[in-house]
């Protein structure tokens, strides 16, 4: 059984607000997530796409501002209109992304906000890229599409994610997470019949996320996918 206890502060439309969650899935998970709501959320009675963002190792801790140093919430702060409820959970210092932590944050968001369950997306960079690959492998039925940036993982079992469209990004000069880490996952998913795109940035090191999250095509691609009705 999945247990979940929510505590939410007052929501300010289009402003970052913390979401606290305490739950269990395959492991114990609790923590905080930064949340930014789309323009019009408070005025339009509709369901919205959800974008889960997983930060890198350098943004771990207890300061939510760290969790949104990079990624889609940063883009929103800079004025980009992104029609998602964006949720950025944070891993404590010394921790890592687990499926339980991602599931707890996802469940909290679904319980708290008006979310279109057919349009739930996940993205992450570096350590969060690893977390993204693992999340779609372990919970493929929950995501309509994923963007994995300079990540990797264990490809054993990745065939379970064959129905989740993935767009992977990596710099070919990355000395922190080698290009081969993404390439291995991409090849495995392709071999399983998956829908996968792979963009390699020539001459780019570990920071392959800045260009990716600044690219409007990435968000358009995510929104072009939805889970089919069963």
**Distance, C-alpha 88 to centroid of its chain:** 8
* Pair 148, 169: CB distance under 8 Å: yes
Q: What percent of the chain has pLDDT over 90?
A: 74
Lowest mean pLDDT among 24-28, 118-122, 141-145, 198-202: 24-28
Does residue 102 have a pLDDT over 60?
Answer: yes
Among 3.40.50.1820, 3.30.110.30, 2.102.10.10, 3.40.50.1010, name the CATH number for the domain at 4-223: 3.40.50.1820
Does residue 117 have a pLDDT over 70?
Answer: yes
Residues for the chain: how many in total? 230
For residue 18, what pLDDT is reported? 60
Task: Give the mean model confidence (pLDDT) for residues 169-176.
Answer: 98
Torsion angle in degrees (nearest 10) through CA of 217, 209, 158, 179: 120
And the tokens for 205? 């090191």
Tally Cβ neighbours within 10 Å of residue 115: 19
């Amino acid at each position: 059984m999945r247990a979940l206890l929510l505590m939410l502060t007052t929501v300010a439309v289009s402003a970052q607000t913390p979401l606290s969650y305490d739950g269990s899935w395959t492991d114990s998970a609790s923590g905080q997530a930064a949340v930014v709501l789309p323009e019009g959320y408070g005025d339009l009675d509709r369901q919205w796409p959800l974008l889960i963002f997983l930060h890198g190792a350098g943004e771990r801790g207890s300061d939510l501002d760290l969790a949104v140093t990079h990624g889609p919430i940063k883009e929103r702060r800079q004025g980009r209109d992104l029609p998602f409820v964006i949720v950025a959970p944070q891993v404590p210092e010394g921790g890592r992304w687990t499926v339980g932590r991602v599931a707890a944050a996802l469940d909290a968001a679904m319980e708290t906000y008006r979310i279109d369950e057919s349009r739930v997306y996940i993205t992450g960079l570096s350590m969060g890229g690893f977390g993204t690959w693992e999340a779609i492998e372990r919970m493929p039925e929950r995501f309509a599409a994923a963007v994995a940036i300079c990540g990797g993982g264990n490809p054993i079992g990745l065939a379970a994610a064959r129905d989740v469209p993935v767009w992977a990004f990596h710099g070919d000069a990355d000395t922190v997470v080698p290009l081969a880490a993404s390439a291995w996952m991409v090849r495995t998913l392709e071999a399983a019949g998956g829908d996968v795109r792979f963009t390699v940035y020539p001459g780019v090191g570990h920071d392959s996320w800045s260009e990716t999250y600044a690219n409007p095509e990435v968000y358009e691609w995510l929104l072009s996918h939805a889970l089919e009705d069963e």
